[in-house]
Amino acid sequence: GMLDGGFALACHSSNQARSKGFRLVEHLMTRFGWFAAKRVKILISSMSLTDEKTNPHYGLISCKELSSMDTPPHRKRLAEVLKGISNLLSLRRVMKEVIPSEIHRQSLIKILCNSQKVISILPPEEMQKMILYFHSVFASFRSRFYSFPRLTKRDEELREQSLLLLISAVGDEDIAIDEVGEGNSAHWRDRLVAAWFLLTFIDKSGAQIS
């Protein structure tokens, strides 16, 4: 309903419309925050260009479909949608759903430590702007992150997977850190982000990972 309309407006081609859409969603989330949980997965998959080719889903245009069209207008539109997605993913209420979940945190690691893959396909005039949007997502996570015990074996497995990915990224190895399993040598900026995650996530059990 109104929240999905706000999502769509937050990814509009107009800067003013995106700003108004973001403010609308931000306001609605303070009153209907429970809707954030169902939308975290689509926001993360959109940011990593792995969302399903369905238009629209929760009011969002498919970034995967836009990225498959190699024309300037479509790449320009992709940049506009990604700006909106970044703003929405940075929301306090949305990040509140990301931080406690090992699977969501791992997905976010894959996005932020492989940001250059997405940025590199955007129009040249949008690349520098998109770097700032990716950083806003990282800053939102960093400012709210807290550590807590892993209570299940699955959580331990996900944490170990995340640490191995981060070790490979910091070491600048060719690793499959995206959803489609493509190996990519990390950009220096992504390696710095990976180093922060690694230093923050590692604990006594993580230190034993070779």
Question: Quick check: bond before 56 cis, omega within 30?
Answer: yes
DSSP structure string for 136-199: HHHHHHHHH-------SHHHHHHHHHHHHHHHHHHTT--EE-STT--EEPPPHHHHHHHHHHHH
Whether 54 has a pLDDT exceeding 70, the answer reads: no
Whether 107 has a pLDDT exceeding 80, the answer reads: yes
With contact defined as beta carbons under 8 Å apart, do 87 and 18 qualify? yes
Between the alpha carbon of residue 109 and those of residues 44, 131, 142, 160, 188, the distances in Å are 10, 15, 12, 13, 15
pLDDT at 208: 55
How large is the average pLDDT for residues 170-182? Answer: 54
pLDDT at 71: 94
Contacts of 48 by beta carbon, 8 Å cutoff, 6+ apart: 107, 110, 111, 114, 118, 178, 179
How large is the average pLDDT for residues 52-65? Answer: 78
119-170: pLDDT as tens digits: 999 999 999 999 999 999 999 999 888 766 666 888 888 888 888 888 888 8
DSSP state of 24: H
Quote the distance between the C-alpha of residue 55 and its chain's center: 20
pLDDT at 131: 95
Contacts of 157 by beta carbon, 8 Å cutoff, 6+ apart: none
Q: If pLDDT is split at 50, 70 and 90, which confidence band does 180 have?
A: very low
